[in-house]
Amino acid sequence: MLELRPTCENCNKPLPPDSLEARICSYECTFCATCVETILGNVCPNCGGGFVTRPIRPSKNWKGDNYLGQDPASTIIKFRPVDPETHARFAAAIKTMPPEKR
């Protein structure tokens, strides 16, 4: 199950389960859209992969207890800000490739 992390790993902005700004990589590293676009260049600082919009888990029990009430968001904050210069060096070659070619 996807781990719905509570904040942006870089700027610690709250990203509640219904946030449209949450972005995740395939390892569920979670950032806000602003950090992905302006600082990360769509390169995950932990794995080099690209980001997609985090899906919204339903807040209502539409079917089979598959909803936030049964499977709530994580409350464990992962706040690991990137150093912009270090990330720029790491991402320089990677960001020119689309995620599907990395």
Regarding 77 and contact with Zn ion (CB under 5 A), the answer is no
Tokens 């902005």 locate to 13
Of 53 and 59, the one with the shorter C-beta distance to Zn ion is: 53
Contact criterion met (CB below 8 Å) for 98 and 50: yes
Distance in Å, CB of 21 to Zn ion, minimum: 8
Distance CA 60, CA 25 (A): 26
Size of the site for Zn ion (CB under 5 A): 12
Q: How many CB atoms lie within 10 A of CB 15?
A: 24
What track of x and - describes contact with Zn ion for positions 22 through 61 (by CB under 5 A)? ---x-x-x--x--x--------x-xx--------------
